[in-house]
Amino acid sequence: MRNLTLVLLLGSISINSIAQVYKTLNGVTPGNLSIMISQDASTITDLIINGLIDARDFKTLRDNVPRLHVLDLSGVSIVDYTGTEGTIPIAYTSSTTHYPANTIPAQAFYYFSSVTGKTSLTSVILPINLTNIGSSAFEGCSNLTGIQLPYSVTSIEEQAFNSCTNLVTINFESTLTNIGEGAFYNCIRLKTISLPSSISSINRYTFYGCSGLTSLTIPPTVKFIGDNAFHGCSGLSSISIPSNVTSIEPDTYSGCSGLLSFIIPSNVNTIGSYAFNSCTKLTTINIPPLVNSIGVAAFGGCIGLTSISIPSSVTSIGDFTFFGCNSLTSIYVDKVTPIVLNSANVFNGIIKSNCTLIVPQGSKPTYKLANYWKDFVNIDETLTTENSNFLLTDIKLYPNPSTDYLFVTGMKENGLVSILDIFGKLLLTQQLRNNDKISISSLPKGIYSAVISSSEKVVVKKVIKL
């Protein structure tokens, strides 16, 4: 038995010793990789290439090196190629295709016919002068664990890393200006993303299904975030959106079930359909005063939502907007004339006997007659109307609890805010206007008092720092 065990062990060592096959190729010229590698192509696992290559050579790496595990292209320059022998099958393109220089070609490691990627690939070192990663270049490379972008990269095309389900880290320290649609679609193990300040937009579906994402930094240069960009990013507890963003696109944060807080930038004017659908841990949301429409099911399935504020600027609310929001206890509507609703489905699932509808002074009788608004058992009035400035007593601080910033709404005039700890010690003070941002990022976790004062009166609000 001992001898048999020894034989098996030696056999295992022998197998492992031949498992990794290393090869270095120097002086490679465009289109000749298949010739230089022909004798070893079926066994190579780790390959270093130095020289010039083009799209024909990427096709060789994809189709003729079945065990390719680690690929080092740091000593490579990619030259342009125009022809029919590149990575895109001729059946799915024109008779000739142009593949630009310094670009990982489209479908470099993706098999279009079988809709799969090169699953043997675990590590790639990219050329230092690379500027572009083509569409679907690494799509379906499900065992690729990490990749570092050279500083020279300016563009990542659509679906470049689609379904790279084991991709954990991406280093974005580059001059990157474009990330294509679905570039990191379903990269379920991506954990931390910090986008460079050279980015001005995040395309649709970019991080769709990245359920492992726990940390996200979006630079203030971003002005647009496309639909479904963070759909299903269930590991994110907070997302800070730059103030330049003017719309929340459909489905953008749908399924972000770990989201605890969200500040809608004050410049946003539309909230698209399903925008926050199934954000089950979201407890409060304040809609800024420029929003004019809220799309279908925008907050549907937000079962943790307890309060929401709708400003006078809103003129339309889509069906099922608050579908299933059975924890809502208060809805504040700053609008004298009720918004015309298409059906009762807008509030479907809200327990109307437990949720108070708060409307401007003098408008309660109108709401008690309006279709679907009248279904609320408790309708209360505030001291304000949409045509008057808020009184200081109607000041709202949000989000609360918060980790970094508070925003203030409801200021009739400029004032002063002071943050005090539980012992009454003054920690910070600043001049305050309506919709101003108050930074509390430097404060330790705990409970504080925000003292807001103007020439009218003083209001004290409790603040929780997470």
The reply to whether 372 and 405 lie within a common domain is no
Write down the H helix ranges in 26-180. 33-37, 55-64
Residue 160 lies in a domain: no
What CATH number has the domain bearing residue 425?
2.60.40.1930
How many angstroms separate the Cα of 47 from the Cα of each of 20, 178, 388?
Answer: 10, 30, 71
pLDDT at residue 91 in the model = 66
The reply to whether 320 and 460 lie within a common domain is no
The reply to whether 209 and 299 lie within a common domain is yes
Residue 396 lies in a domain: yes
Cα separation, 72 vs 84, whole angstroms: 26
The reply to whether 296 and 413 lie within a common domain is no
How many angstroms separate the Cα of 101 from the Cα of each of 80, 109, 228?
Answer: 4, 17, 32
Last residue of a domain, one of 103, 137, 153: 153
Last residue of a domain, one of 332, 361, 388: 388
The reply to whether 209 and 309 lie within a common domain is yes
User: Hey, what are 390's tokens?
Assistant: 């808020």
The reply to whether 224 and 147 lie within a common domain is no
Local confidence pLDDT in tens for the 466 residues of the chain: 334 333 333 343 333 444 789 999 999 999 999 999 988 999 999 999 999 999 999 999 999 999 999 999 999 999 999 999 999 987 666 678 999 999 999 999 999 888 999 999 999 999 999 999 999 999 999 999 988 889 999 999 999 999 999 999 888 877 899 999 999 999 999 998 999 999 999 999 999 999 999 989 999 999 999 999 999 999 999 898 998 999 999 999 999 999 988 889 889 999 999 999 999 999 888 888 899 999 999 999 999 998 888 988 999 999 999 999 999 988 989 888 899 999 999 999 999 999 999 888 888 888 999 999 999 999 988 744 333 333 444 677 888 888 888 888 877 777 777 787 765 566 877 877 777 888 888 888 888 877 776 654 556 677 888 8
The reply to whether 133 and 202 lie within a common domain is no
The reply to whether 355 and 207 lie within a common domain is yes
- Residue-wise DSSP of 366-400: HHTTSTTTTT-SEEEE-S--TTSPPPGGG-EEESS
The reply to whether 307 and 427 lie within a common domain is no
Question: Would you say 233 and 214 are in contact if contact means Cβ atoms under 8 Å apart?
Answer: no
The reply to whether 22 and 96 lie within a common domain is yes
Residue 275 lies in a domain: yes
The reply to whether 54 and 73 lie within a common domain is yes
Instruction: Provide φ and ψ at 157, rounded to 5°.
Output: -80, 175
How many angstroms separate the Cα of 14 from the Cα of each of 2, 10, 17, 42, 307?
Answer: 18, 6, 5, 19, 66
Residue 184 lies in a domain: no
The reply to whether 45 and 141 lie within a common domain is yes
Residue 7 lies in a domain: no
**Structural domain that includes position 84:** 18-153
Q: Total domain count for the chain?
A: 3
pLDDT at residue 387 in the model = 35
Residue 63 lies in a domain: yes
Last residue of a domain, one of 345, 364, 388: 388
